[in-house]
């Protein structure tokens, strides 16, 4: 254990191809097949210090985040279940939230993985062990990608990772991509539900011969016409525009 203040920058991700299968009865998570790249031009910051009170807690600069119910605390709780001796030392996580809540860039999962990394550093536990990797797999469908933090094909419920070769990276990377923050939050659960309701219709809209597509784009637009308007406005200025993940931000190039 260390008494030092430690911090970590947590980065986002972009999906250059995103396919989602319809949720079947009995399934809790959608199965996906997607190509993902880390996006390091935008980041949140998490600062860990020993708690001054008798419990672990989160503070943040973003009023939209519930300090009593968030991905950071959920990650910490999972960590303590696996390493119960660490629960004797309460912690304070300060989240400097620079990214949009509901951006589609995966920051909720990235921040959860960031907490696990911080806890491993604080308690001097090897982050690269199978035990820790097992915790990460429970954090959500994007979490394992952030564990590796390298370009990859992600499939299943996010639990299958195949790192891209140099040739594949060159083929699928968008070297001049920019992220446009729409300031319009879009929430993954609602977008996935919309996809399920009209799944066959949305399937027909996707051209899988393209190197870049996102099956969640139209469901997000149907739920939130403001996003669709922003998309059309961006099309006037960029040759390529695509919704980032389940929405909130756009990839432009």
What's the pLDDT tens digit per position in 35-46? 999 999 999 999
pLDDT of residue 102: 85
pTM exceeds 0.85, yes or no: yes
Cα separation, 103 vs 189, whole angstroms: 13
What are the structural domains of the chain? 6-165 (3.30.230.10), 167-252 (3.30.70.890)
- Whether residue 193 is predicted with pLDDT greater than 90 in this model: the reply is yes
113, containing H or E segment: helix 107-122
4 pLDDT tier (thresholds 50, 70, 90): confident
pLDDT of residue 237: 97
pLDDT of residue 1: 73
Name the 3-class secondary structure at 123.
coil
Residue pLDDT, tens place only, 147-167: 999 999 999 999 999 999 999
Residue 97: C-alpha distances to residues 47, 170, 183 (Å): 11, 31, 14
Q: Is 214 exposed, middle or buried (0-12, 13-18, 19+ CB in 10 A)?
A: buried
2 pLDDT tier (thresholds 50, 70, 90): low
């Amino acid at each position: 254990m260390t008494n030092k203040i430690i911090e970590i920058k947590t980065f986002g991700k972009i999906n250059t191809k995103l396919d989602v299968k319809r949720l079947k009865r009995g399934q809790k998570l959608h199965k996906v097949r997607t190509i993902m790249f880390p996006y390091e031009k935008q980041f949140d910051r998490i600062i860990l210090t020993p708690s001054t009170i008798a419990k672990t807690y989160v503070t943040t600069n973003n009023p939209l985040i519930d300090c009593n119910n968030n991905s950071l605390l959920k990650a910490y709780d999972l960590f303590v279940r696996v390493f119960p001796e660490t629960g004797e030392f309460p912690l304070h996580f300060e989240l400097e939230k620079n990214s949009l809540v509901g951006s589609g860039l995966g920051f909720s999962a990235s921040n959860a993985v960031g907490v696990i990394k911080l806890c491993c550093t604080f308690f001097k536990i090897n982050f690269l062990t199978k035990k820790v990797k097992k915790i990460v797999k429970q954090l959500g469908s994007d979490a394992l990608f952030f564990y590796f933090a390298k370009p990859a094909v992600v499939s299943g419920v996010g639990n299958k990772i195949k790192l891209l070769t140099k040739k594949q990276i060159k083929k699928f990377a968008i070297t001049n991509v920019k992220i446009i923050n729409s300031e319009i939050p879009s929430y993954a659960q609602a977008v996935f539900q919309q996809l399920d309701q009209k799944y066959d219709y949305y399937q027909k809209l996707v051209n899988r011969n393209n190197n870049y597509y996102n099956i969640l784009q139209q469901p997000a637009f149907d739920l939130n016409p403001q996003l669709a308007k922003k998309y059309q406005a961006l099309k006037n200025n960029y040759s390529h525009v695509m919704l980032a993940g389940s929405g909130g931000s756009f990839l432009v190039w």
